[in-house]
Amino acid sequence: MSAEQCFTLDGRRVPFQDGQTLMAAALDAGVYIPHLCFNPEFAPHGSCRVCLVQVNGRVQAACTTPAAAGLTVQSEIEELREMRRGILQMLFVEGNHVCPACEKSGACQLQAVAYYVGMQTPHYKHFYPRRPVDASHPEAVIDFNRCILCELCVRASRDVDGKNVFAVQGRGIQARLVVNTPSGQLGATPFSIHDKAAQVCPTGTILTKHRGYETPIGQRLYDRKPISVVGDVAQLPESRGGRRHD
């Protein structure tokens, strides 16, 4: 990597390798950019728009924008914080998120990002959609109320597990996560709690059965450190509601 192969992010020079995006280079440099649908193990998706940054004055998604030498990138400015708060507020009201009572509270990436950007209230009127809870699988429960359509489980099941268990059906406000079986139930699929798809959800949509509240609230991942310090940990056991063994 040449000395010239850097861009500036909030006044800091960030090196990058050929083919890297702004997000990937920032994470390698230990610089946090808020995100939800991005996972370094998968190709960029660009659906959540939480990672919006200003690139030479233009707003773009950090997870899909290629890094290039000489770019001036801004992330921690109030204009972008306000955009992120608005996006997160809409995500919260479009689902049924009951954070204080959720098993994932304290280890939920959606909740942690909301705290990071200063989103303290939903602002908009709640939709209160009618969404099911699927407990048909012996190892896992799916609470569709908490899905934010990041498609991480879709990509993991298809690209890593080779099972194609999940899909997103519909468009716009009618879009929803579905299970690829005639019955629509997870119990009718070859899904396993050991699958990659079970490990990547940034919310409490996919939960392990028989392990609720093993880590007490107040001692969980983002209770101990903010997400900007912890980083992208959707794959860690604790982020799925279990204990993290260090």
Mean pLDDT across the stretch 193-222? 93
pLDDT at position 4 over 50 = yes
Query: What is the pLDDT averaged over residues 104-126?
Result: 94
Res 217: pLDDT: 86
Residues 133-150 have pLDDT tens digits of 999 999 999 999 999 999
pLDDT of residue 242: 38
pTM of the predicted model, to two decimals?
Answer: 0.90
Per-residue pLDDT tens for 10-44?
Answer: 999 999 999 999 999 999 999 999 999 999 999 89
How far is the C-alpha of 110 from the C-alpha of 114, rounded, in Å? 6
Residues 6+ apart with CB under 8 A from 3: none
- Decide which of 82 and 172 is more confident: 82
Average the pLDDT over 84-112 and give the result: 94
Domain ranges within the chain, ordered by starting residue: 7-76, 85-240
Residue 60 pLDDT > 50: yes
As a whole number of angstroms, the distance between CA 196 and CA 218 comes to: 27
Residue type present at position 133: V
Q: What backbone phi and psi angles, to 5 degrees, belong to 208? A: -80, 135
Measured CA to CA, the distance from residue 165 to residue 157 in angstroms comes to 6
Average pLDDT over residues 84-111: 94
Which architecture does CATH list for 7-76?
Answer: Roll (3.10)
CATH assignment of 85-240?
A: 3.30.70.20
Largest CA distance in the chain: 56
pLDDT of residue 12: 96
Q: Which residues contact 29 (CB under 8 A, 6 or more apart)?
A: 9, 12, 14, 15
Q: What pLDDT does residue 245 have? A: 29
In the prediction, which pLDDT does 232 show?
57
What per-residue confidence (pLDDT) applies to 212?
A: 83
Answer whether residue 233 shows pLDDT above 60. Answer: no
The answer to whether 187 and 138 are in contact (CB under 8 A) is: yes
